Amino acid sequence: MNAFSASTTRAEALRRLVEAFRDCEFDEPAREARLTLCAACRLPPAAVIAAPDAPLGLAARQLSEFVLRRAAGEPLSKIVGKREFWGLTLSVSRDVLDPRPESETIIEAAVALFADRRREPIRILDLGIGSGALLCALLREFPGAQGLGVDRSEDAVKVARTNLEACGLAGRADVRVGHWTDGVEGPFDLIVSNPPYIPSSSIAGLPREVRDFDPRLALDGGADGLKAFRAIIPSSARLISPDGRLLVEVGAGQARSVLAIAAEAGFLDGATWRDLAGVERVVAARAPLGQFPEGVNRDERVAVC
């Protein structure tokens, strides 16, 4: 589409954006148009409604750039470098997975499971911290907690540190480069992870917003999508406190398999938590016992809920 000019009004820009995004076959072109216009012009939605005839002015050039990038499939969050998660505004880049609403299910589960420990000095471990979204949200919900985040990507670690600092949480968290639990010492009361869980062969079929703009390291879960779980869950068993909990995000249809991996590692009281779409999105389990009571069947250690 043609570039916007300084004299283009907000209403005209919005109309042209809707047309452009409809041609791109976006699911919600009108919504995409409003968000893009407001982001480029740094305006609240009410300003577009209140003054539709106001010219774009100096924002025209920025809007022209934004629409080209968005039409090419780049998520608006990556264009503006910001994403909302659990009421927090976080910095994001191409070096980290874009935090998405379904990942908030981990926070919901943690708040429910630790409802009577909200003020206690619990220790939290975030494996594959990425942008730091999970750890930032958890530290906000648990004001007495201390956290450790680990990620293989140095660039992701930088983003996580930036977000912890911006949220005023850097004093309660440490972030380091590493491979899952290697070199990590427990115990931790809560271990969380949103690991890569897309089967390698399925990545090419992902929406381009994900496939082309999220790091493959944060997506590729190996041949069956379960490679990371086979590494994280058994090694977490030695790091979790006796009354601790493990919470991991899983892909659609993976919950039963991940519960089985947890059972094999000795975790107890397995349960699943559904996201807003009704998908079993989070697997939760309680710390293993030191020894299993006589007569307890190996396959009954995790009860699927």
Q: What angle do CA 117, 122, 125 make, to 5 degrees?
A: 125
Interacting residues of 208 by C-beta distance below 8 A, sequence separation 6+: 73
Mean pLDDT calculated for residue range 92-117: 97
**C-alpha Rg value of the chain to the nearest Å:** 22
Q: Which residues contact residue 276 at a Cβ distance below 8 angstroms, ignoring those fewer than 6 apart? A: 101, 102
Burial of 150 (0-12, 13-18, 19+ CB in 10 A): buried
pLDDT of residue 49: 86
Give the tokens for residue 83: 């994403």
- SS3 assignment, position 132: coil
The structure tokens 């949220």 sit at: 167
> Edge-to-edge strand order for the sheet containing 173-177?
173-177, 146-151, 123-127, 188-193, 240-249, 280-286, 268-274
Residues 129-150 have pLDDT tens digits of 999 999 999 999 999 999 999 9
Q: Are 109 and 249 in contact (CB under 8 A)?
A: no
Tokens, residue 266: 């000795």
90 has which bridge partners?
Answer: 83
pLDDT band at 1 (very low <50, low <70, confident <90, very high): low
> What pLDDT, on a 0 to 100 scale, did the predictor assign at position 3?
86
pTM as predicted: 0.90
Q: What is the pLDDT of residue 203?
A: 97
Task: Look at the block and give the residue holding tokens 């007569």.
Answer: 295
Give the range among 30-39, 257-266, 291-300 with minimum mean pLDDT.
291-300
DSSP per position, 244-297: EEEEEE--TT-HHHHHHHHHHTT-EEEEEEE-TTS-EEEEEEEPPPSSPPTT--
Q: What is the pLDDT of residue 102?
A: 96
Average pLDDT over residues 38-44: 93
Tell me the backbone φ, ψ of residue 258, rounded to 5 degrees: -70, -35
Q: Residue 75, CB half-sphere, CA atoms under 13 Å: how many? A: 21
* Cα 300 versus chain centre, distance: 31
Give the mean model confidence (pLDDT) for residues 220-248: 97
**High-pLDDT (> 90) share of the chain, %:** 90
**Per-residue pLDDT tens digits for 65-84:** 999 999 999 999 999 999 99
Sign, CA dihedral 237-175-200-254, equals positive
